[in-house]
Structure 1
Amino acid sequence: MVQEKWVALSNTTIGVLMATINASILIIALPPIFRGIDLNPFQSGAFAYLLWILMGYMIVTAVLLVTIGRLSDIFGRVRLFNLGFAIFTLGSVLLYFTPGKGDTGALELIIFRIVQAVGGSFLMANSYAIITDNFPKEERGTALGINAIAGTAGMSIGIVAGGILSAINWRYVFLVSVPVGLLGTVWSYLKLKETSPKLKQKLDIPGNLLFGAGLIILLIGITYGLVPYKSSATGWADPWVITAIIIGIILLIAFPFVERKVKQPMFRLELFKIRAFSAGSFSGMISGMGMMGLMFMIIILFQGIWLPDHGYSYASAPFWAGIFMLPMTVAMGIFGPLSGKLSDKHGSKGIATLGLLISAFALILLSLLPYNFIYIEMGILLFIFGAGMGMFTAPNTSAVMSSVPPESRGSASGMLTTLRNVGTTASMGIFFTILILSLSSKLPGALSSAVTNAGAPQLASVFSKLPPTDAIFGALLGINPIKAILSILPSGVKNSISPTALSTITQRTWFPTIFAPTFMSSLHVVFYVAFAITLVGALLSFIRDPLTKKSGSSKRISNEEQAVKLKR
């Protein structure tokens, strides 16, 4: 039994680490990937490709996790976990051999990423449940802590790995998963033994269709809400976006009413009556919002502003951005397992809540940094934020998974991870919208004045029309958008620019210097929102333990007692 539990932990940890690394590895690697497939990032429609390459993986996993969790309860968690390794490896091989160029290459990347996401969904939906099946309660927090931190740290490791591998060859970003996937596939099929109680039940077709369709339509609406629409900087006024969001919300609202009438529902809604489950799941979703939102915003800050302004070339910015994000990864690796071990002895509530409060503290301090900050200050704050997230994730996961009956662990694991993925996807929509709207009111005037002061007033009207999405896109990809604008200007306009003015506005530091103040003031608003969101997560974490009055005294109801009542 001792050997089996460590086989289960090591195998599931490798699977989750691989899946989450690939969820974030493209954030850094996009510049060489776009160059590799010969796609002009500033052509019409390219921003949509960017969003889908980044968010398609998260959307697919968010949609599939609950269904796969339920299927795992029925057919066996280990069986579907093993299948996930094989599918994920296939997707990685397809991505490595992406043959197309331009728009075709971008579409192929999106499709192959979806294949990869399907495999990742099988891995993420079952890892927590398999560990919970194999470890006794007194060791469960430590084991789940290691696995949960592998999932959280994988997001940060993916950024570093993407920066290093893409500097060599963009295809290596996908190739790195192949040997790990092959090893995991063979090892899991040979060594991992089934321990879950297979339920003799049917798949809930109506519930799956309703939940999947509602979530897909809603997340697609959120995604295209970030794409410019007509003269607007965002697409939130697009009738198709509004319709998609409304339909998605209606379908998701209808979902629980349908599930109450289904004999064997895809998810037991009564599990939300267990406060540890409901509070832990929703606080996990909120922590995902803060985590992903911070990572994306800091990456843009590094690649588009701070690094070019400190002498780094645009080509090397993605690599160094990954390196400078390491303090967050290191902190998670230290405090994740440590907090999991402490939660086994002292409970999860205090440690998890303190973790989110620490992360919130780091966010409010980040809002005080200027755009030309000293890196040591940023590094310390990233470490503090990562430490807080590490302290929260492991105890929270242990509390959630320990609160449900054994036969519902697959569904619970799927729902927990689904809510977290929905949180990360929603954070993209929320934080990017804040950023775009704020920039749309400040950037045009700043660029117009700057280009006039540089000696090229004839470009003022052109540069003032630079969409905020293009500015953000250029920052995220480490590309100077000024050169892209100049390349499409009529020759007569180009020839009218003096050599001195042309030399000034094409310098590496010119655009970052103009972009930095407006971007940083907008980013401060993002940090304020992330701070508020994280505090809400801390509040949910704090109220996870129920109390009931009995004979004039307070008696704590254990999560196990609630699970037994539901089972009956």
Structure 2
Amino acid sequence: MVFAALILGGLLVVLDITIINVAIRTLARDLAVSLPVIQWVSTGYTLALAMTVPTSAWLVGRFGVRRVYVGALGGFVLGSVLCGLAWDIGSLIAFRVLQGVGGGLVQPVGMMIVLRATPPERRGRAMGLLGLPVLVGPVLGPTLGGWLVEISWRWIFLVNLPVGLAALLLAARALRPFNGSASGAAAAAGGAVGDRATGPRLDVAGLALVAPGLALFVFGLAESGRLGTVASSSVVVPALVGIAMVAGFVVRALKTPAPLVRITLLGRRAVASGAVTLVLFSSAYFGSMLVLPLYWQVARGLSPAETGMLGIPQALATGLSLQVASRLVDRLQPARVVGFGITLAASGLLAAVLLLDANTPYWQLMLAMSVTGVGAGSTIMPTITTALRNLDDRDSPSGSTLLNITSQVGVSIGTAATSVVLASGLASRGLAAVLAGGDAGGGSDTAVPGAGPAQVAVDVAAGFAAACRTTLGVPLVLMAGALVAALTVLPRRASQTSTAVVEG
């Protein structure tokens, strides 16, 4: 029942993200706003998530994992209903922020529960179960989103209500044994499960540095992706201020006895190596995920729903391989499992680069990206499991928080870098209007004089495909860096004996 509650809660969040991705253009049309404005429906959620994740360790130490998890799900469901009732773009963005506050806690708190519920030698299998939403969500989300959008954009949010209520009821019942039982001493030291009476005090100064610091950094990255350049004050200023604030938080966390997040955990090889590998691979993989959907829609003229269906094989490959690799990492050397996964992901991505043109057969690109999906499933969750495997109840909240922050930063970096390179490539080919909402028939700058609309479309498709090939070189380089990190710094042993008292 515990894992059913965690899987259903995780599925709720993953479904929402994948549905939103399909509905962006429809939202822009129905709300009569431009694409840059409607992107704040996603950006607002991401910023709220970035500000919320750092608080997860303290919230669990103060209120217990059950209260925090149920509260996070409740906030997410409430935000979903309000989004479905939004009356304009401003209210929709505001309610998406509320969704992000709840959604940002679901994954890290779910990891904490898994670490408490399972012994170290079985945590790979347990993390694999926690990753089941990655298998189901990307398969159902795009298809369901395409169907719901045709009825009304409001249903892409209201559909979360029945699923969310079921997740809330199950979590409230199944997580009763996890209501908070850590000792006051452990909680005061940044412990795992403290209750209201004995939980640690909030590191207000640390929160005032890291939460807005991460939000400003992510905002700068999002702006660079939107503008297609890093040479803008709206990109550089918030990013640098954000980095400075996060650096200040790190300095403070190393000195204060009860920090918001225990940065000293990065002194452990498993945690540090996992964080490095995760940030590089997340940047590469999620950055590459931006390119092919745009290629399908712009160069091949497919609808968002059709684009989502073409991604189903990759989603299935990722989810299935995640289940296998998460179990293998309990028995084999983590460096071998993760190294194999990164190599496979890079191989699939390289094949996509070599194959991609304006008329590549669908099955070839789907096969190449499915190979990349197998690699991703064999990398992300095994890396997280290796990093967190031997943390005890006192350290697991900070450990899972650090890994979730790392992952979120990696996704933001990869998406921004890919967007900038793609925008630059399109601009050099006279196709800058494509990312501003143009279609394959609107890039007349690339056509020869006197060419008709059909020839213009062919030229634009070829130019867009060429820009996509160049852009995918960025994720390939990042994956190479992740492979070096995995093979040189990840632990060599499959599991170690933990001295922690495992509850549940």
TM over 0.5: yes
Q: Deviations over 1:378-426 (max 9, x none)?
A: 1111210111111112322221221322212122212211211111112
Partner of 2:407 in structure 1? 420
- Following the alignment from structure 1 to structure 2, what is the Cα–Cα distance between the partners of residues 97 and 510? 44
Find 2:435's aligned residue among 472, 476, 479: 472
Contact 1:73 1:408 (C-alpha < 8 Å) held by counterparts: no
Partner of 1:278 in structure 2? 272
Find 1:90's aligned residue among 78, 99, 123: 78
SS in 1 for 2:354: coil
The 1:12/1:420 distance shift into structure 2, 3 A limit, reads: same
- For 2:462, the aligned partner's letter is P
Partner of 2:105 in structure 1? 122
| Deviation of 1:358 (Å) | 0.4
Q: Deviations over 1:474-500 (max 9, x none)?
A: 26xxx5674999xxxxxxxxxxxxxxx
Contact 1:274 1:559 (C-alpha < 8 Å) held by counterparts: no
- Following the alignment from structure 1 to structure 2, what is the Cα–Cα distance between the partners of residues 378 and 291? 16
The 1:193/1:347 distance shift into structure 2, 3 A limit, reads: farther
Partner of 2:67 in structure 1? 79
Contact 1:148 1:393 (C-alpha < 8 Å) held by counterparts: no
Contact 1:77 1:194 (C-alpha < 8 Å) held by counterparts: no
- For 1:188, the aligned partner's letter is A
Partner of 2:187 in structure 1? none
Contact 1:73 1:411 (C-alpha < 8 Å) held by counterparts: no
The 1:128/1:557 distance shift into structure 2, 3 A limit, reads: closer
Partner of 1:539 in structure 2? 484
- Following the alignment from structure 2 to structure 1, what is the Cα–Cα distance between the partners of residues 455 and 84? 36
The number of aligned residues is 479
Find 2:262's aligned residue among 265, 268, 271: 268
Find 2:251's aligned residue among 244, 257, 272: 257
Find 1:365's aligned residue among 351, 356, 375: 351
- Following the alignment from structure 1 to structure 2, what is the Cα–Cα distance between the partners of residues 304 and 557? 45
Contact 2:299 2:440 (C-alpha < 8 Å) held by counterparts: no
The 1:481/1:68 distance shift into structure 2, 3 A limit, reads: farther
SS in 2 for 1:407: coil
Q: Deviations over 1:326-375 (max 9, x none)?
A: 11111022111111122222243311221111001111111112221001
Contact 2:274 2:490 (C-alpha < 8 Å) held by counterparts: no
Matches within 5 A, 1:20-31: 20-31=14-25
Partner of 1:525 in structure 2? 470
1:66 corresponds to 2:54: yes
SS in 2 for 1:16: helix
Q: Deviations over 1:5-39 (max 9, x none)?
A: xx221111111222122223222112222222233
Contact 1:153 1:332 (C-alpha < 8 Å) held by counterparts: no
Matches within 5 A, 1:314-463: 317-369=303-355, 370-443=357-430
Contact 2:334 2:494 (C-alpha < 8 Å) held by counterparts: no
- Following the alignment from structure 1 to structure 2, what is the Cα–Cα distance between the partners of residues 156 and 282? 29
Matches within 5 A, 1:164-179: 164-179=147-162
Q: Deviations over 1:101-139 (max 9, x none)?
A: xxxxx2222211111111111211201110111122333
Matches within 5 A, 1:293-304: 293-304=287-298
- Following the alignment from structure 1 to structure 2, what is the Cα–Cα distance between the partners of residues 188 and 120? 15
- For 2:210, the aligned partner's letter is F
Contact 1:157 1:329 (C-alpha < 8 Å) held by counterparts: no
- Following the alignment from structure 2 to structure 1, what is the Cα–Cα distance between the partners of residues 435 and 312? 23
Find 1:136's aligned residue among 119, 124, 127: 119
- Following the alignment from structure 1 to structure 2, what is the Cα–Cα distance between the partners of residues 483 and 170? 29
- Following the alignment from structure 1 to structure 2, what is the Cα–Cα distance between the partners of residues 67 and 112? 20
Q: Deviations over 1:422-473 (max 9, x none)?
A: 11112221011001112212116xxxxxxxxxxxxxxxxxxxxxxx2x4124
Deviates more, 1:395-404 or 1:270-279: 395-404
Q: Identity across aligned pairs (percent)?
A: 22
Partner of 1:516 in structure 2? 461
Partner of 2:189 in structure 1? none
| Deviation of 1:318 (Å) | 0.7
The 1:301/1:153 distance shift into structure 2, 3 A limit, reads: farther
The 1:87/1:64 distance shift into structure 2, 3 A limit, reads: same
